[in-house]
Structure 1
Amino acid sequence: MRYPVNEIFETLQGEGRFTGLPAIFVRLQGCPVGCSWCDTKHTWEQQPQDERPLGDILVKTAASSCWAWATPEAMLATFAERGFNAKLVVITGGEPCMFDLVPLCEALHGAGYSTQIETSGTFEIKVPKETVITLSPKVGMKGGYAILDSALERADDIKHPVARERDIEELDALLARCGEKPVYLQPVSQGKRATELCIKTCIERNWRLSVQLHKYLGIE
């Protein structure tokens, strides 16, 4: 099994339940959802002319649409060659659930890593039961994809981007479909009004705030 990889890097997880934990990020290429505020739009298209050898991807110094095919074995070899210490692997994108992630996650678990997937909930989630699923639902985006009931059911927690009151209402509608889940509210683009709304709602609902710590720290 091969996967289209945009980036592999080690940093701190800056969002959700694992905030502050060292993590290896594997960013996959490809996403049709079309979020207007997306900060990784360079991962949307999987253009053949942007394909590169994996070694070229690993030395990128800026966001780029270049990507490389990589097997789970090649990724594990990269972790070792780079001397990565983190034991959590975050598979993100793009939209990682466009792909069958079972072979990748099983290889990572077999090598002693734990896994977390960050997904929009618009594709069927194919992972082992041990993988932690963080669903960041994208409602009414340009791509026209609906949030799947199966994705809501599988989610271990929900990390919801919030810019206005309507986003809270959309989250309530989603939770009515799947029952109670741990919820993290994340202000879109760290906007002042969005942040104030998230803080107010978290206090009222006993939810948690996710502030994209990596952006405040100025790290990847």
Structure 2
Amino acid sequence: MSALTSIAAATLPIVETFHSVQGEGAWMGCSAFFIRLAGCDVGCPWCDTKQSWPRDRHPEVAIADLVEAAVAAQPQFVVITGGEPLLHDLTELTNALRSQGLRCHLETSGSASPSGSFDWVTLSPKPFKAVVAANYNWANELKVVIQTDADFDFAEQEAIAVPETTLKLLQPEWNSPESCDRVVNYVRQHPRWRVSLQTHKFLGVR
């Protein structure tokens, strides 16, 4: 893989990699290889991957090894997630993945500066840290987690900032069962929004 030779020494802090299906959003149910990067400074209290927050507790993994694992999995696409993946420069990783014919998807809160080249960007803003303005422009889908009624106001504010063509999704917070009813009722009354569910949790897969 000559395209990987030049990045042999480049590394990123990795919490885990795994091959599963995309459980959320527009690509739900598709074969996906996940690269979960370490480090997050957003601090969502209901985060289900808090182990990803500290960067220095996770090993540095060579980008070439990440690409090799992704190629071996033969997924429909690779999802770069976190933590907050944009805390890292994703240019070399995405260039290397795309050089091997792999689609690259990003899941981000948008709270750090954009980098990398992606085929699909899921912007999931949080009220705990503002989105960097440039990240609104490349959002293919806007996914807002709903826990309380106040979160709908936040979602509507964020929807104004993304392109008109951006898919708009509301996702019930997993540990708040009543949020499902809130989201369904809201979408019935506001048809520009869709419901997003964490189907991987229902299926019992990663």
TM-score, reference length from structure 2: 0.89
| CA distance in structure 1 between the aligned counterparts of 2:36 and 2:152, rounded to whole angstroms | 28
| CA distance in structure 2 between the aligned counterparts of 1:9 and 1:44, rounded to whole angstroms | 18
Residue type of the alignment partner of 1:200? N
Percent same amino acid among aligned pairs? 32
Q: CA RMSD in A?
A: 1.5
Of the three residues 108, 115, 119, the one matched with 1:131 is 119
> Aligned runs of 1:176-187 on 2, under 5 Å?
176-180=160-164, 181-187=166-172
Structure 2 segments unaligned to the other structure (5+ residues):
1-9
State the shift of 1:138 in Å.
0.6
Residue type of the alignment partner of 1:100? D
TM-score, reference length from structure 1: 0.84
Of the three residues 126, 137, 152, the one matched with 1:153 is 137
- Residue in structure 1 matched with residue 46 of structure 2 by the alignment: 37
- Residue in structure 2 matched with residue 63 of structure 1 by the alignment: none
Q: How many residue pairs align between the two structures?
A: 195
Of the three residues 140, 147, 161, the one matched with 1:163 is 147
| CA distance in structure 1 between the aligned counterparts of 2:15 and 2:201, rounded to whole angstroms | 20
After superposing on structure 2, the runs of 4+ consecutive aligned residues of structure 1 that deviate more than 6 Å are none
Preserved CA contact (<8 Å) 1:105 1:131: no
Q: Does 1:115 align with 2:80?
A: no
Structure 1 segments unaligned to the other structure (5+ residues):
51-66
For residues 7-64 of structure 1, what are the alpha-carbon distances to aligned partners after superposition, in whole Å with 9 as ceiling and x for unaligned? Answer: 01000100011100010000000001100000000010122xx3xxxxxxxxxxxxxx
- Residue in structure 2 matched with residue 191 of structure 1 by the alignment: 176
State the shift of 1:76 in Å.
1.9
State the shift of 1:97 in Å.
0.5
| CA distance in structure 1 between the aligned counterparts of 2:139 and 2:175, rounded to whole angstroms | 24
Preserved CA contact (<8 Å) 2:142 2:159: no
Equivalent position SS for 1:216: helix
